[in-house]
Amino acid sequence: MKKLLLILLVIGLIACLFVGCTPTVPSEGEGEGEGEGEDEVTRVVLVEIFSQFGCAYCDIVEPIMEELAGEYSRDEMILVEERAHGLYSTDEIRDRYKWYFPSISDRSTPNVLFNGLNQRIHHTSTTYYIAKSKIETELSKQAKIEISANRDSYSTTNTISGTIKNINSSTLSNLVINGMTFKDRGQTGLKYCVADILEEQKKTVATLEPGESYSFSFSIDGFDWEGNNMHGVIFVQDPDSTKKEVLQSFYID
Protein backbone atom coordinates (compact mmCIF):
# COMPACT_ATOMS: atom_id res chain seq x y z
CA MET A 1 0.00 0.00 0.00
CA LYS A 2 2.80 2.40 0.95
CA LYS A 3 4.57 1.61 -2.32
CA LEU A 4 1.36 2.38 -4.26
CA LEU A 5 0.90 5.70 -2.42
CA LEU A 6 4.52 6.62 -3.17
CA ILE A 7 4.03 5.93 -6.87
CA LEU A 8 0.85 8.03 -6.94
CA LEU A 9 2.65 10.88 -5.16
CA VAL A 10 5.49 10.86 -7.70
CA ILE A 11 3.00 10.85 -10.58
CA GLY A 12 1.15 13.79 -8.99
CA LEU A 13 4.35 15.81 -8.60
CA ILE A 14 5.32 15.19 -12.22
CA ALA A 15 1.85 16.27 -13.38
CA CYS A 16 2.11 19.47 -11.36
CA LEU A 17 5.48 20.26 -12.91
CA PHE A 18 4.06 19.91 -16.42
CA VAL A 19 1.04 22.04 -15.60
CA GLY A 20 3.32 24.73 -14.18
CA CYS A 21 5.34 24.83 -17.38
CA THR A 22 2.34 25.15 -19.66
CA PRO A 23 2.31 28.72 -21.15
CA THR A 24 -0.74 30.83 -20.61
CA VAL A 25 -2.32 31.86 -23.91
CA PRO A 26 -3.02 35.62 -23.85
CA SER A 27 -6.52 36.82 -24.60
CA GLU A 28 -7.15 38.56 -27.93
CA GLY A 29 -5.28 41.87 -28.12
CA GLU A 30 -3.20 41.09 -25.02
CA GLY A 31 0.56 41.26 -25.42
CA GLU A 32 0.52 43.09 -28.77
CA GLY A 33 3.25 45.68 -29.21
CA GLU A 34 2.36 49.34 -29.20
CA GLY A 35 1.66 50.63 -32.69
CA GLU A 36 1.18 47.20 -34.24
CA GLY A 37 -1.35 47.23 -37.03
CA GLU A 38 -0.60 50.81 -38.00
CA ASP A 39 0.24 51.46 -41.62
CA GLU A 40 3.93 52.11 -42.22
CA VAL A 41 4.70 55.21 -44.26
CA THR A 42 6.93 54.45 -47.26
CA ARG A 43 9.65 56.84 -48.39
CA VAL A 44 8.61 57.74 -51.96
CA VAL A 45 11.41 58.42 -54.46
CA LEU A 46 11.01 61.52 -56.65
CA VAL A 47 13.16 61.08 -59.77
CA GLU A 48 13.79 64.24 -61.81
CA ILE A 49 15.37 64.00 -65.26
CA PHE A 50 16.71 67.23 -66.76
CA SER A 51 17.10 66.57 -70.49
CA GLN A 52 16.86 68.12 -73.94
CA PHE A 53 16.26 67.15 -77.57
CA GLY A 54 19.33 66.01 -79.48
CA CYS A 55 21.10 64.71 -76.36
CA ALA A 56 22.52 61.26 -77.15
CA TYR A 57 22.89 60.18 -73.54
CA CYS A 58 19.33 61.37 -72.82
CA ASP A 59 18.09 58.98 -75.48
CA ILE A 60 19.75 56.14 -73.54
CA VAL A 61 18.78 57.16 -70.01
CA GLU A 62 15.15 58.20 -70.50
CA PRO A 63 13.80 54.83 -71.79
CA ILE A 64 15.46 53.11 -68.81
CA MET A 65 13.89 55.48 -66.29
CA GLU A 66 10.50 55.24 -68.00
CA GLU A 67 10.72 51.44 -67.84
CA LEU A 68 11.49 51.60 -64.12
CA ALA A 69 8.63 54.06 -63.56
CA GLY A 70 6.31 51.44 -65.03
CA GLU A 71 7.62 48.76 -62.67
CA TYR A 72 7.24 50.69 -59.42
CA SER A 73 3.96 51.90 -57.99
CA ARG A 74 3.60 55.64 -57.49
CA ASP A 75 3.61 54.95 -53.76
CA GLU A 76 7.27 54.06 -54.30
CA MET A 77 8.59 56.11 -57.22
CA ILE A 78 7.38 59.16 -59.15
CA LEU A 79 9.20 60.16 -62.35
CA VAL A 80 9.13 63.67 -63.84
CA GLU A 81 10.98 64.71 -67.01
CA GLU A 82 12.00 68.36 -67.13
CA ARG A 83 13.18 69.81 -70.44
CA ALA A 84 16.14 72.01 -69.52
CA HIS A 85 16.28 73.67 -72.96
CA GLY A 86 14.22 73.96 -76.13
CA LEU A 87 10.71 72.63 -76.72
CA TYR A 88 8.64 72.10 -73.53
CA SER A 89 11.17 73.98 -71.42
CA THR A 90 9.72 76.66 -69.12
CA ASP A 91 11.13 79.47 -67.00
CA GLU A 92 10.29 77.50 -63.85
CA ILE A 93 12.15 74.41 -65.09
CA ARG A 94 15.23 76.43 -66.07
CA ASP A 95 15.19 78.26 -62.75
CA ARG A 96 14.92 74.98 -60.85
CA TYR A 97 17.86 73.56 -62.82
CA LYS A 98 19.97 76.61 -62.00
CA TRP A 99 18.93 76.35 -58.35
CA TYR A 100 20.20 72.78 -58.18
CA PHE A 101 23.36 73.63 -60.15
CA PRO A 102 24.54 77.27 -59.93
CA SER A 103 27.57 76.41 -62.08
CA ILE A 104 26.75 76.06 -65.78
CA SER A 105 29.35 73.31 -66.09
CA ASP A 106 27.11 71.08 -63.93
CA ARG A 107 24.06 71.65 -66.11
CA SER A 108 24.91 69.40 -69.05
CA THR A 109 22.31 66.73 -69.78
CA PRO A 110 21.08 64.29 -68.78
CA ASN A 111 21.00 65.00 -65.07
CA VAL A 112 18.97 62.41 -63.19
CA LEU A 113 18.29 63.29 -59.56
CA PHE A 114 16.90 60.91 -56.95
CA ASN A 115 15.22 62.77 -54.07
CA GLY A 116 17.15 65.91 -54.83
CA LEU A 117 20.89 65.39 -54.92
CA ASN A 118 20.85 62.30 -52.68
CA GLN A 119 21.66 60.17 -55.74
CA ARG A 120 22.64 61.38 -59.20
CA ILE A 121 23.42 60.22 -62.74
CA HIS A 122 25.09 63.00 -64.73
CA HIS A 123 26.05 63.38 -68.40
CA THR A 124 26.58 59.74 -69.14
CA SER A 125 24.82 56.59 -70.20
CA THR A 126 23.74 54.18 -67.50
CA THR A 127 22.23 50.73 -67.07
CA TYR A 128 18.90 49.56 -65.76
CA TYR A 129 20.59 47.99 -62.72
CA ILE A 130 22.57 51.10 -61.77
CA ALA A 131 19.44 53.26 -61.90
CA LYS A 132 17.40 50.68 -60.01
CA SER A 133 20.03 50.46 -57.25
CA LYS A 134 19.75 54.21 -56.68
CA ILE A 135 15.98 53.94 -56.37
CA GLU A 136 16.30 51.05 -53.94
CA THR A 137 18.83 53.00 -51.86
CA GLU A 138 16.31 55.82 -51.42
CA LEU A 139 13.41 53.46 -50.77
CA SER A 140 15.33 51.86 -47.91
CA LYS A 141 15.50 55.15 -46.00
CA GLN A 142 12.99 55.88 -43.28
CA ALA A 143 10.29 58.41 -44.10
CA LYS A 144 10.26 61.60 -42.03
CA ILE A 145 7.16 63.16 -43.60
CA GLU A 146 3.71 61.82 -44.38
CA ILE A 147 1.68 63.60 -47.09
CA SER A 148 -2.05 63.28 -47.65
CA ALA A 149 -3.73 65.21 -50.45
CA ASN A 150 -6.61 65.22 -52.92
CA ARG A 151 -7.65 67.14 -56.01
CA ASP A 152 -10.96 68.86 -56.60
CA SER A 153 -11.92 70.13 -60.05
CA TYR A 154 -14.55 72.59 -61.15
CA SER A 155 -14.60 73.44 -64.85
CA THR A 156 -11.01 74.51 -65.61
CA THR A 157 -10.04 75.20 -61.99
CA ASN A 158 -8.22 72.49 -60.05
CA THR A 159 -7.46 72.66 -56.34
CA ILE A 160 -4.95 70.35 -54.67
CA SER A 161 -5.18 70.48 -50.90
CA GLY A 162 -3.89 68.38 -48.05
CA THR A 163 -1.55 68.14 -45.10
CA ILE A 164 1.99 67.16 -44.29
CA LYS A 165 2.83 65.55 -40.95
CA ASN A 166 6.17 65.17 -39.20
CA ILE A 167 6.49 61.45 -38.37
CA ASN A 168 10.12 61.87 -37.39
CA SER A 169 11.30 61.93 -33.77
CA SER A 170 13.03 65.30 -34.27
CA THR A 171 11.84 68.78 -35.22
CA LEU A 172 12.11 69.56 -38.94
CA SER A 173 12.93 73.11 -40.02
CA ASN A 174 12.72 75.32 -43.12
CA LEU A 175 10.72 72.93 -45.27
CA VAL A 176 9.22 73.82 -48.64
CA ILE A 177 6.01 72.29 -49.99
CA ASN A 178 5.93 72.47 -53.78
CA GLY A 179 4.30 70.71 -56.71
CA MET A 180 4.51 69.91 -60.42
CA THR A 181 2.07 68.96 -63.12
CA PHE A 182 3.11 66.58 -65.90
CA LYS A 183 1.62 64.70 -68.84
CA ASP A 184 2.37 62.02 -71.42
CA ARG A 185 3.29 63.73 -74.69
CA GLY A 186 3.22 60.48 -76.61
CA GLN A 187 6.87 59.60 -77.15
CA THR A 188 9.85 58.21 -75.31
CA GLY A 189 11.45 60.83 -73.13
CA LEU A 190 8.19 62.72 -72.79
CA LYS A 191 5.89 60.26 -71.06
CA TYR A 192 6.26 62.19 -67.80
CA CYS A 193 6.92 65.62 -69.27
CA VAL A 194 6.62 68.49 -66.75
CA ALA A 195 4.15 71.16 -67.82
CA ASP A 196 4.40 73.44 -64.79
CA ILE A 197 6.13 73.84 -61.44
CA LEU A 198 3.99 75.53 -58.79
CA GLU A 199 6.88 77.71 -57.68
CA GLU A 200 4.87 80.88 -57.09
CA GLN A 201 2.50 79.04 -54.75
CA LYS A 202 5.07 77.03 -52.78
CA LYS A 203 4.67 77.03 -49.01
CA THR A 204 7.49 77.51 -46.51
CA VAL A 205 7.21 75.79 -43.13
CA ALA A 206 9.59 77.29 -40.58
CA THR A 207 9.35 74.44 -38.06
CA LEU A 208 7.39 71.24 -37.76
CA GLU A 209 7.46 69.48 -34.41
CA PRO A 210 7.19 65.68 -34.11
CA GLY A 211 3.56 64.72 -34.69
CA GLU A 212 2.64 68.21 -35.91
CA SER A 213 0.74 68.74 -39.17
CA TYR A 214 0.60 71.64 -41.65
CA SER A 215 -2.18 72.25 -44.19
CA PHE A 216 -1.59 73.46 -47.75
CA SER A 217 -3.52 74.26 -50.91
CA PHE A 218 -2.58 74.89 -54.54
CA SER A 219 -4.84 76.32 -57.25
CA ILE A 220 -4.24 75.42 -60.90
CA ASP A 221 -6.33 77.22 -63.52
CA GLY A 222 -6.77 77.20 -67.27
CA PHE A 223 -7.29 73.59 -68.35
CA ASP A 224 -9.41 70.48 -67.97
CA TRP A 225 -7.31 68.06 -65.91
CA GLU A 226 -8.86 64.82 -67.15
CA GLY A 227 -9.32 66.05 -70.70
CA ASN A 228 -5.63 66.96 -70.93
CA ASN A 229 -4.50 63.72 -69.27
CA MET A 230 -2.68 65.61 -66.52
CA HIS A 231 -0.92 64.19 -63.48
CA GLY A 232 0.66 65.88 -60.51
CA VAL A 233 3.10 65.47 -57.64
CA ILE A 234 3.32 67.28 -54.33
CA PHE A 235 6.71 67.13 -52.64
CA VAL A 236 8.37 68.35 -49.46
CA GLN A 237 11.97 69.51 -49.84
CA ASP A 238 14.71 70.70 -47.49
CA PRO A 239 16.32 73.50 -49.53
CA ASP A 240 18.94 74.29 -46.89
CA SER A 241 20.40 70.79 -46.76
CA THR A 242 23.60 70.13 -48.70
CA LYS A 243 21.74 67.67 -50.95
CA LYS A 244 18.59 69.83 -51.29
CA GLU A 245 16.85 66.67 -50.23
CA VAL A 246 13.29 65.78 -51.21
CA LEU A 247 11.94 64.25 -48.00
CA GLN A 248 8.63 62.92 -49.35
CA SER A 249 6.41 62.98 -52.44
CA PHE A 250 2.77 62.25 -53.20
CA TYR A 251 1.20 61.42 -56.56
CA ILE A 252 -1.92 63.34 -57.67
CA ASP A 253 -4.12 61.53 -60.19
Residue 250 forms beta bridges with which residues?
234
Q: Assign 78 to helix, strand or coil.
A: strand
Three-class SS state of 88: coil
pLDDT value of residue 197: 98
The domains located in the chain, with CATH, are: 45-252 (2.60.40.10)
Along the 253 residues of the chain, how does pLDDT read in single tens digits?
444 444 444 445 444 444 443 444 444 444 444 444 456 899 999 999 999 999 999 999 999 999 999 999 999 999 999 999 999 999 999 999 999 999 999 999 999 999 999 999 999 989 999 999 999 999 999 999 999 999 999 888 999 999 999 999 999 999 999 999 999 999 999 999 999 999 999 999 999 999 999 999 999 998 899 999 999 999 999 999 999 999 999 999 9
Please work out, in degrees rounded to the nearest 5, the angle formed at the alpha carbon of residue 64 by the alpha carbons of 136 and 228.
100
Q: Give the per-residue pLDDT at 40.
A: 86
Q: What is the 3-state secondary structure (H, E, C) of 177-206?
A: EEEEEEECCCCCCCCCEEEEECHHHCEEEE
Give pLDDT, residue 162.
Answer: 98
Give the pLDDT of residue 31: 41
Beta strands 77-83 and 45-51 are: parallel
